[in-house]
Chains A and B, each alone.
Chain A
Amino acid sequence: MVNKATKIRSMPLDRSLPKGNFIKAVTAVVWKDLRAEFRSRELFSAMLVFSLLIILIFNFALELDVKTRQSVTAGVLWSTFAFAGTLGLNRSMAIEKDQGCLDGLLLAPVDRSAIYFGKVISNLVFMLIVEVIVLPVYSILYSVNLFQPGLLLVILLGSIGYVGVGTLLSAMSVQTRTRDILLPILLFPVAIPVLLAAVKASNGFLTGAEVADILVPINLLIAYDVIFIAVAFMVFDSVVEE
């Protein structure tokens, strides 16, 4: 074992910090999350089953006619995405906390915002995959055409904002004993602007509203996405450090 020890110290090390390492660290976190999740499917299956159950329950509970179905579609869709998203965000950060892996990430000699961006991208990928599966199911159950480029853009922008702020808040709530309860309590009030703008813009596309009317909530969504992610970028380090 000692021979191996002497060998291991002979390796050249690159301690140049931290230039150029940021993107590498972000991609490493995304690779790790996707690899672990595609193997266990723990988080993804929970989000997907939960989403499908919600749209089924709404389908039976509302018993709506075709016209009314179109008017509630945006609300039902975003409620589904918000609840399922919370489930995913909670689980994604709990996996980091349970075996002390969050400490492992924080010990890396990189800007800690790289960890934030890595987690945001992987959480966004999970949410988008669930949405891609939920949308056709919803279209069949509610007889509504959801495959409109404008609506898909709104879903993407809304998901970015929701995951952006949700990842930051899940990093805070995961430190507490009541993390499962605390995340939705913290996240829903903060995410209201994103959800309102997303519902309004989605409704606009589904009801064929004027482009000028839809542009306002879309601009709001873009502004919220930028603000939330910029704030999270600035405060993530303080949030995760004791």
Chain B
Amino acid sequence: MITVKKLVKRFGLKTVLRGVDFDVQPGEFVALLGPNGAGKTTFLRILASLSRPSLGEVRIAGYHLPSQAAQVRARLGVVSHLPLLYGDLTAEENLRFYARIYNLANIEERITEVLEMVDLDTRRRDLVRTFSRGMQQRLAIGRAVLHDPEVMLFDEPYTGLDQDASSMLDDVLKTVAAQGRTVVMTSHDLARAEDLATRFDILSHGVISASASRGKLKKTNLLSFYKQALAG
């Protein structure tokens, strides 16, 4: 579903990604882990077509980036630590706006279903700026799945959430993954990543330094795998 070959990203003289090779099969849930500054967000922004690769090849759902970016974006849902929502619009107005620019059919029906999925149907007419951080993040996931994307990208979705909000987000993420979508998530929360993901990749110094599936991690836990990968 996602194929990345020898991806390089430079900002001026600084090289952030130094030849990343990354392959994700349909339905996989990949947790992309790594220290701050490793290039996780940059990598996700390239997958999301928000940033151009300096060198290398990126394909998502068979479409090439950046030349077929519009086709890729139609199949992509992105959730970052920012909600990407307008505070002065209500929850349903936000979703209606995104439904229109995604050219969706049956907009009102779809909005109701998404709001029910993220348990915000009772707050549909409230302004988003009155929502708690956790509610905003759930609505952000609703916005991202509105057009039924095949691939979901989550960039630090737990940032700023308390324990209750995080466990509610766990449920929403599990629901999203249970629908057979391909998911790539960056996170510093190893316990949550271990609970959700089916594969763990470590991005360090601009390359994927280690990768392991959930089955291979049975003998050891994710924390020691992570530490070994960074030490090596």
Cβ contact within 8 Å between B175 and A5: yes
Segment 221-242 of A: residues with Cβ below 8 Å from B: 241-242
CB of A103 closer than 8 Å to a CB of B: yes
Given A99-B85, A99-B86, are A31 and B103 also a contact pair (CB < 8 Å)? Answer: no
B-contacting residues, A1-37, CB 8 Å? 1-2, 4-9, 11-18, 20-21, 24-25, 27-29, 31-32, 35-37
Are B179 and A109 touching (Cβ within 8 A)? no
A40 within 8 A of B: yes
A105 CB-CB contact with B under 8 Å: yes
Interface contact A9-B102, CB-CB below 8 Å: no
Q: Chain B's nearest CB lies how many Å from the CB of A115?
A: 8
- B103 and A14 contact, CB distance less than 8 A: yes
Would A17 and B70 be within 8 Å (CB), given that A9-B179, A101-B85, A242-B50 are in contact? yes
Report Cα–Cα, A12/B147, bound state, in Å.
Answer: 10
CB distance A39 to B88 under 8 Å?
yes
Q: Complex formed: what's the CA distance from A107 to B60 in Å?
A: 14
Residues from chain A with Cβ under 8 Å of B116 in the complex: 4
A-B contact number at CB 8 A: 138
A132 and B164 alpha carbons, distance in the complex (Å): 50
Tell me whether A110 is interfacial, beta carbon within 8 Å.
yes
| Contact B70–A32 (Cβ < 8 Å) | no
Question: Which chain A residue has the least Cβ–Cβ distance from B80?
Answer: A100
B105 touches A12 (CB 8 A): yes
Which residue in A1, A13, A17, A104 is a CB contact (below 8 Å) of B105? A13
- Among A35, A103, A104, residue most surrounded by chain B Cβ atoms (within 10 Å): A104
CA separation between A147 and B101, bound complex, in Å? 39
Q: Mark B121-149, 1 if CB is under 8 A from A, else 0.
A: 00000010000000000000001010110
B-binding residues in A (CB < 8 A): 1-2, 4-9, 11-18, 20-21, 24-25, 27-29, 31-32, 35-37, 39-40, 42, 95, 99-101, 103-111, 114, 241-242
Interface residues in chain B, defined as those with a beta carbon under 8 Å from any beta carbon in chain A: 45, 48-52, 66, 70-71, 73-76, 78, 80, 82-89, 93, 97-98, 100-106, 109-110, 113-114, 116-117, 119, 127, 143, 145, 147-148, 171-172, 175-176, 178-179
